[in-house]
Every structure is written in structure tokens, then in C-alpha cells.
Amino acid sequence: MTIDWVADTRESYDRVAQPYADFTSGADTTSAYMIGTYGMLAGSCRNDRAPLRPIVADIGCGPGMWVHLLATMGVEAIGIDLSPGMIDLARARSSDARFEVGSIHDLELPTDGVDGAACMYVLHHLPDDAIDAALDELVRVVRPGGVLLLGGHIGDTRRVKTEGYGGHPMHVLSLRRPASLWEAKLRDRGMTIEAHTIYDPDEDTRTHTLFTRKPAASTH
């Protein structure tokens, strides 16, 4: 499966940015599952950092609806996406958060620089040989004691998506991997698994959320 996945993913999501934003419009007020997931992330970070205002980054933020929600939850919210078109829409949507164009493999965030990070519905777009570097980068930016939330499609189907939102052409990988793989890879990086929820028994629509924590720095 040969694909210039970075360029193709960027161009595809630029092409469907507005239809995607229209499709997901209102999700930050109607999707109980996602509202609860991001609420758990923000709440954990607030509790850990009180009375300070925690920093939470959403990696692969799309048009920014979840970053906008985070900004209402008492955190300093940052959204990062590969697609400039998505970031333009995100900036137009919310003035209470920071948005940047960036790659999951080269985040312009300092080491141990955020209290929490989310990466939702992103990793199925990455080829197998890009997964480890992406996870290394996600773990790198989370401070000791901080939280990393992963989620999205799981399973064992592998295809290239050629049509997307609004019927526009796309060329992006859609590689669903077992939930157990994500647990193993994050444990290998020293992360503690705090919660792992799998939704929907139907393999075609099965998703998960994986809530992990980076061990606190030793005081000895």
C-alpha cells in the first residue's frame, strides 16, 4: 500500500474542510460520548494542577469544535492539525484557543509542555511504520503526571478512503488496529492505563477511548 500519506492526508482534508465542519457542526453540544470524554480529560487536568490553569492540546483537532469545548472547561486549549484549511476554520470558530498547523511527528510543543493531550480519530490515518514515532511524540509533550487520551476506530480492516464528506475525492489511509495494540504500545512507553472503553460490538463502527497517565517524576 504505497501512499505519500502526509501530503495526501493534508490535501484531502483541505479539500473537505468545510463539508466536514458542516457535518460535525453542533457535535460539541450533542455528542454525549465525546463531550464526556473531553470533559474527563479537562477535569483530570484541572484537579491535578489546581489552582493553576492547565494546558491541554488536541492533536488532529480538525475544525476545532473540541478545542472550543475545552476552552469552556477551564483549561488553556491548543489545537493542532495537519490541514491548513481545518485550522483556518478552527480559528474562525473560536478566539479563546490557540491553533497551529502541525504534524503529529513534529509537534511544536516543548517536552513535558502540556498537562494533557488528546489524539482522537487520527491514528487510523497513519501507516504502520509511522505509528511508533507518533506515539513517541505524543508522550514526549505530556508532562510527568499528565494525561494522554487516545481514541478512534479499532478493528482489523485496512483500506484507502477515496471519497469523503460532501462527496469530494479523498486519498487517505483508514487502517483499523486492535484495541490491545494501543494499550501495549503505551505501556511500552511507560504510560499507566487508567481507563479503556470500547464502544459498539459491531466491527464496522467499533471505537475506543484510552485514558493514560505519564508517571510523575520521582522526588527522590
Residues 51-68: tens digit of each pLDDT: 889 999 999 999 999 999
- Quote the pLDDT of residue 1: 38
Average pLDDT score, the chain = 94
Q: What is the mean pLDDT of residues 188-205?
A: 90
- Between CA 34 and CA 28 the distance in angstroms is 8
Question: For the segment 80-127, what is each residue's pLDDT rounded down to a tens digit?
Answer: 999 999 999 999 998 999 999 999 999 999 999 999 999 999 999 999
pLDDT of 199 above 50: yes
- Quote the pLDDT of residue 219: 54
Q: How confident is the model at residue 201 (pLDDT cuts 50, 70, 90)?
A: low
- Between CA 216 and CA 194 the distance in angstroms is 14
- Quote the pLDDT of residue 2: 43
- Which residue from 131, 189, 183, 123 is spatially nearest to 152, judged by alpha carbons? 123
Q: How confident is the model at residue 200 (pLDDT cuts 50, 70, 90)?
A: confident
pLDDT of 38 above 80: yes
- The pTM score is 0.94
Sketch out the chain's domains with CATH numbers: 5-213 (3.40.50.150)
- Between CA 44 and CA 130 the distance in angstroms is 29
- Which residue from 96, 106, 156 is spatially nearest to 128, judged by alpha carbons? 156
